[in-house]
Chains A and B, each alone.
Chain A
């Protein structure tokens, strides 16, 4: 494991080094030499590096690069005369750079505190950016962990239902179909429920996966009547089969949700590799699918564009199903895009925010450098006067900037490297999507390294150039004696400082706004009334097998015995059965048609449907508005009844009492044309709306009684008495008494489920709050630093004013005016920035608009007050200095 990881790091080091070395060669040597020997030099460097890497990655890297850099700095014989020793006179360019680097380190060490701030602050910015980019890279940039994964597509669109398995041969090299299933393993230990799937036998070839043990499926194992075989996951192999290496050929027994009564026996043909990643988690048991109908994904034939393939499939679907609506199409979505569709906007916002933090951190350092550059004006002026070339001085400043940026980059990367391992779990939990390739796929690879290095280089150039315009002028200024007078700041540099601080204020306000909007969204979601009370509700799923319970009556009897037993548990307050629990699944709407009045035309709408047993509304504490609940008299033979939510009632019968009216559900768009129409149901009650997710408008709910429908799967929903422990073990006991082979699956607490739905919003809110707090602190520090500096610079000026009779308040006001001008323009820009960030957050905002006036005004005010304090403190200090003391200095 560590060997593999080490090998990978070594390979990255090697390839990144080669890339960098190639660029350096181009820069260092004249083109003819590069053309002639460039490849040889690279090859030699590669050999040298590979040899050094044998001694250890880091050591080898440092040794090889040390040698390479010295080599690049070595002068080449430039002419016939230069072959000889005496031609080495004069300063070599790279030797000068070396001197500059040494000089930078010396001056940094002279003022460690300054160095720490100047390096560490951007380092934190780099670390944040690199970590976020590592996540972005794993989700959005790097292809899925399958070869030629751009040819893998998912089949979507209304017309997809019209496709037959035989239609797709011309489009897909291999198509994959699957049926997700839950297998209850029996024998050899406790019964255990695992998620699995019936899948196309050749799916391993589509994803190019080789089993860790045994083999994949043979094509003929997908035929009806061939003996059942299975592949199991590495996890199941370890946890249930004790990592037995001789597992291949052994059998296990399992019940399936829709299979005959007796458990089926599967022969294990292989174990999937530990690093096998699939975009859903139904991979513990995989068995060949028999006679697949629906194509879900596939590998497109080589060279076939996605759009063209989709058109072909659409035409096929219409040929086979002429009743499809004309505008129904088959869509092919890249498997990667489909997997990351929900996380993309969030990740881009986080990446943007991290870059803003980095920008602020850099602006902060730039301000400090500017302040110092002003202080160094005299030093540069002297050097210039002593004959240093401007270009030479410029190069020194650039070198300093690059050294600072390189240090910041290295420290930032090191910080990020510590944090990156924890990111996988955090990202999956808060984004609600698995990382392509598994949580370990969030790591530093060549892309992340290169991007971070590029960012660091950019910072370096900026740092190097920031003090430049002033210093070029400095030469002139020193001649005119301006610098020599000591203390008067150049106007241009002052403006540059103000722009930087203003930018800091603006950017931090933008981030603060984004954070505040997200916090308000999180608070809003926290306060959303789901229409029921999730706390104290426990859930479990129960399914009965066709063979044991062949008809509706038998199944109803089973559920009756179960719910009666559950209600008898003393710690349970109430219990009910339901077909689907809000927040635990994605709800699709179906059409519904209502009788408006006798003889009147019908009215149609969309709704979500639930099948519920008695006591559902009381257990969930859903408010009953009118009419009655379902009772045991609502049986199969009696008149079909229904209960509607207020929203559905309003849509179907806007001004009428819905109780007593009739409605029926409409067939789905993809239902066969000869399907039976659903029966008309009489509305017997109206209940409050229930939310199916935290966001979005109410969808309208239609409830139907369990006794008048036919269900083999139901969820048991119980509300425990206050203070009671989890009732799930007691429910399992009851279930075991009713039927010993039916397992209770998907058990959880509804409170947790609702809470999880808020995770992405809370995550974004927390992240942006952290980012903006850091940014805000930097902006305030920057402001304080600039005003302190200005105050120090203008000591003499102030002293003269005060000696001439100006009072302290008026002097302090002078600085306040100057500082607040910067702050106010920063706030103006920042408000726009905040609005833009709010717009970018778009779908992540709930219950608050990007332009929310309260948020903007409040934050602007907070920033204004804080900034005023940051300015007032140094201004006040300047004003309290003794004027005569300053003037005598």
Chain B
């Protein structure tokens, strides 16, 4: 399993990670992705980054296009919509695990207060 050895792949760029993350709840339009990423992380992406990255993600089969009607949003009905593929979901999961482990390191080294529930 990939998540058993997250150190085997280099980390994802923040942009790619956030795009994948924004799609984890279901299909979105480009506009929806931009808004979701901004709301989740404060990362203000523009059209070039959104579609430039989606273009690559499509090439590698991490996302695929879906029927635009499947995604929420009134005024963007005619725009293209995207959803995660299996591979994309795997990559996201790998990265999430890596980050989670990374986040635990300072705690383990007693550099940061321990997060809830873990004593």
Given A47-B76, A85-B10, A88-B13, also A72-B46 (CB < 8 A): yes
B46-A45 in contact (CB<8A): yes
A76-B12 in contact (CB<8A): no
A83-B47 in contact (CB<8A): no
Given A43-B79, A44-B30, A84-B12, also A74-B48 (CB < 8 A): yes
A44-B49 in contact (CB<8A): no
How distant is the Cα of A776 from the Cα of B90 in the complex, in angstroms?
A: 73
How distant is the Cα of A385 from the Cα of B53 in the complex, in angstroms?
A: 39
How distant is the Cα of A86 from the Cα of B50 in the complex, in angstroms?
A: 20
Complex contacts, B75 vs chain A, CB 8 Å: 47
B104 interface residue per 8 A CB criterion: no
How distant is the Cα of A76 from the Cα of B79 in the complex, in angstroms?
A: 22
B16 interface residue per 8 A CB criterion: yes
B13-A77 in contact (CB<8A): yes
B52 interface residue per 8 A CB criterion: yes
Complex contacts, A42 vs chain B, CB 8 Å: 47
Complex contacts, A71 vs chain B, CB 8 Å: 45-49
Complex contacts, B60 vs chain A, CB 8 Å: 80, 83
A877 interface residue per 8 A CB criterion: no
**Which residue of chain B is the closest to A28 with respect to CB atoms?**
B48
B10-A84 in contact (CB<8A): yes
The interface-forming segment of A32-40, A170-178, A250-258, A494-502 is A32-40
B10-A44 in contact (CB<8A): no
Complex contacts, A77 vs chain B, CB 8 Å: 13, 16, 52-53, 56
How distant is the Cα of A40 from the Cα of B79 in the complex, in angstroms?
A: 7
How distant is the Cα of A448 from the Cα of B11 in the complex, in angstroms?
A: 50
Complex contacts, B2 vs chain A, CB 8 Å: none
How distant is the Cα of A85 from the Cα of B15 in the complex, in angstroms?
A: 10
Given A47-B75, A77-B16, A80-B60, also A41-B51 (CB < 8 A): yes
Give 1 or 0 for each of B16-53: 1 = CB within 8 Å of chain A CB.
10000000000000110010000000001111111111
How distant is the Cα of A70 from the Cα of B54 in the complex, in angstroms?
A: 18
Q: Would you list which residues of chain A between 27 and 76 have a CB under 8 Å from chain B?
A: 28-29, 33, 36-37, 40-45, 47-48, 67-68, 70-72, 74, 76
Which secondary structure characterizes the binding site on chain A?
helix
B64 interface residue per 8 A CB criterion: no
**Which residue of chain A is the closest to B44 with respect to CB atoms?**
A67
B55-A85 in contact (CB<8A): no
Complex contacts, A68 vs chain B, CB 8 Å: 46-48
A85-B46 in contact (CB<8A): no
A757 interface residue per 8 A CB criterion: no
Complex contacts, B49 vs chain A, CB 8 Å: 71, 74, 76
**Which residue of chain B is the closest to A77 with respect to CB atoms?**
B56
How distant is the Cα of A70 from the Cα of B49 in the complex, in angstroms?
A: 10
How distant is the Cα of A70 from the Cα of B60 in the complex, in angstroms?
A: 26
How distant is the Cα of A37 from the Cα of B13 in the complex, in angstroms?
A: 21
A29-B48 in contact (CB<8A): yes
Minimal beta-carbon separation of A72 from chain B (angstroms):
5
B80 interface residue per 8 A CB criterion: yes
How distant is the Cα of A37 from the Cα of B54 in the complex, in angstroms?
A: 9
Pick the residue among A28, A41, A84 that contacts B13 (CB under 8 A): A84
How distant is the Cα of A80 from the Cα of B57 in the complex, in angstroms?
A: 9
Minimal beta-carbon separation of B50 from chain A (angstroms):
7
A48-B46 in contact (CB<8A): yes
Minimal beta-carbon separation of A14 from chain B (angstroms):
15
A25 interface residue per 8 A CB criterion: yes
B11-A84 in contact (CB<8A): yes
Complex contacts, B12 vs chain A, CB 8 Å: 83-85
Complex contacts, B80 vs chain A, CB 8 Å: 40
Pick the residue among B11, B14, B16, B31 that contacts A47 (CB under 8 A): B31
10 A-B pairs with the lowest CB-CB distances in the bound complex, closest first: A71-B46, A37-B51, A76-B52, A41-B47, A84-B10, A44-B47, A77-B56, A45-B47, A71-B48, A85-B11
A-B pairs with beta carbons under 8 Å apart, 24 shown: A28-B48, A37-B51, A40-B79, A41-B50, A43-B76, A44-B46, A44-B79, A48-B46, A67-B44, A70-B44, A72-B46, A74-B45, A74-B49, A76-B52, A77-B13, A83-B12, A83-B13, A83-B16, A83-B60, A84-B10, A84-B11, A85-B11, A85-B13, A85-B14
B contacts, CB < 8 Å to A: 9-16, 30-31, 34, 44-56, 60, 75-76, 79-80
